[in-house]
Amino acid sequence: MKTKVVLTFSPEASNQPITHNLIAKHHLLVNILRAEIDEVGGKMVLELSGKADDIRGGIDYLKANGVGVRPIKEGVRRDDEACTHCGMCVSICPTKALTMDLKTGKVSFNEDKCVACGVCIDACPPRAMEILI
C-alpha cells in the first residue's frame, strides 16, 4: 500500500534521522517528494510504501516524536477550467505526468505519475497547476 503524507516539524524534530528510522525500523519505502526545512523547522511531503501495519507504525512513530502528520490524497491538482493546453509544462515535468496528445493538442495530467516536485507550478502561465500542502 502507498500513501502520501505532509510532515511538519519543529527544529528539534528535524535533527532526528526520521527518514532513516522509517526505512530501517518500520520497513517502509520512503520517497521524498518535497522538502522545505530551515532553522524554524519545515515541511516535507513523503510517499510511504509498505504494509498497512508498517505504515501505521511509522506514522505513530512520527507523531510520538513531535512531527505533525497529515495525509494527502494528491499533492498536485490541475484546474481543468484554467488550463489553456499551452503545453509549457510538458517539457519540464521530470516524470512525464503532463503530456500532450499530438493529434488534438490536449494536455493531460496523470496524477499517478506526479511526484509533486512543484516544477510546473510557477511555469504554468494561467496558474492552472496547484500544489496542495
Partner 1 sequence: MTASEFKEYVKTNGVKKAAREVDVVTTGTFGAMCSSGAYINFGHADPPIKMQKIWLDGVPAQAGLAAVDGYIGATALDETNNMMHGGAHVIEDLVRGKAVRLRATGYGTDCYPRKEIDTYVSLRTVNQAVLMNVRNAYQNYAVATNSSAKTLYTYMGKLLPEFGNATFSSAGELSPLMNDPYYRTIGIGTRIFLGGTQGYVMWEGTQFNPGAPRTPNGVPKRPAGTLAVIGDLKQMNPEFLKGLTFTRYGSSLGIGIGVPIPILDEDMARCCAVTNNDILAAVFDYSQPTRSRPVLREVSYAELRSGDIDIKGKQVPTSPLSSMYKARQVSEVLKSWILKGEFTIQEPVQSFPKDRPLKTLDVRTEREAT
Question: Could you tell which of partner 1, ligand SF4, none binds residue 45, using a CB distance below 5 to 8 A set by kind?
Answer: none
Q: Which strand (E) or helix (H) includes residue 64?
A: helix 52-64
Residues near 53 by beta carbon (within 8 Å), at least 6 away in sequence: none
For partner 1, which is the closer residue by CB, 11 or 126? 126
CA-to-CA separations, 40 to 11, 43, 53, in angstroms, rounded: 6, 10, 32
Question: Could you tell which of partner 1, ligand SF4, none binds residue 116, using a CB distance below 5 to 8 A set by kind?
Answer: ligand SF4
For ligand SF4, which is the closer residue by CB, 62 or 89? 89
**β partners of residue 109:** 98
Among 87, 110, 111, 113, binds partner 1 (CB under 8 A): 87
Rule CB under 6 A: is residue 72 a binding residue for ligand SF4?
Answer: no
